[in-house]
Amino acid sequence: MKLLIIGDIIGKPGREATREMIRKIKREQEIDLVIANGENMSHGIGMSKKNFDEMREAGVDFFTSGNHILKKPDIFPEMSKKEVRVIRPANFPPGNPGKGYEVLEVGGKKLLIINLIGRVYMHHSYDCPFRKADEILAEFSKTKLDGILVDFHAEATSEKNALKHYLDGRVAALWGTHTHVPTADLDLTKKGMAYITDLGMVGPTDSIIGDAKESIIESYLKQIPFKLDVASGRCVFNAVIIELIGSHSCKSAHFIQRFIED
């Protein structure tokens, strides 16, 4: 089974680039499932129901998310459906809308997709992602699964790398999101787990991690609050393609970076 896993989609430019690239990659590769992190899809912060529907029609089968997923309340009903197609971090405190993992059936195979959020340099007191992963894996320990996948939405590379070693041999793939900057450490471990510290983003290149430069630079210079606006122009598309061979292992993992002119 071959999966296309896409980094954080940033606003309208990211949505348009994602739509274009999914079409091209599906023509080139035999992709069985498309997963994307969608927490920045709507004006750079959050995911609206309208943009969720737009990207589902474009070919994204399933969405993970992160710290901004609760910014657009009209997505909450979609997060609470019986057959969920968008999840939020599982280690959010109890009582939040939605769920942090889901089992998908794809072509007769069962995949467990887990979303976690980091704690280092984040601005909220989330539950422990390591212990939450243990809880979820224990819940499914007697379930026959064809793949276990984890999106770890975190700031610190060390925290992501630690979770890599903690879950190696227990999940098939672990990828990081949130920083919008791709890392050059895509790895297939000896135990067969596909890993990358951060996928990067789908968004404008002439930007600061997808957003317009001017107000952010001014904020650094003057130490004042600033308003985020999604940038425009040429976009980068960052993703990986993995090929699953079991619940805890992959056959291959390839990084994709392509540029889409405005």
57-109 pLDDT, tens digit per residue, is 999 999 999 999 999 999 999 999 988 999 999 999 999 999 999 999 999 99
What tokens were used for 1?
Answer: 């089974």
Q: What is the pLDDT of residues 130-187, one digit of tens each?
A: 999 999 999 999 999 999 999 999 999 999 999 999 999 999 999 999 999 999 999 9
- Predicted TM-score (pTM) of the model is 0.97
- For each of the domains in the chain, give its residue range(s) and CATH number, in order of start: 2-260 (3.60.21.10)
Q: What is the 3-state secondary structure (H, E, C) of the chain?
A: CEEEEECEECHHHHHHHHHHHHHHHHHHCCCCEEEEECCCCCCCCCCCHHHHHHHHHHCCCEEECCCCHHHCHHHHHHHCCCCCCECCCCCCCCCCCCCCEEEEEECCEEEEEEEEECCCCCCCCCCCHHHHHHHHHHHCCCCCCCEEEEEEECCCHHHHHHHHHHHECCECEEEEECCCCCCCCCEECCCCCEEECCCCEEEECCCECCECHHHHHHHHHHCCCCCCCECCCCEEEEEEEEEEEECCEEEEEEEEEEEECC
Instruction: Select which of 68, 153, 178, 180 is catalytic.
Output: 68
68 in catalytic set: yes
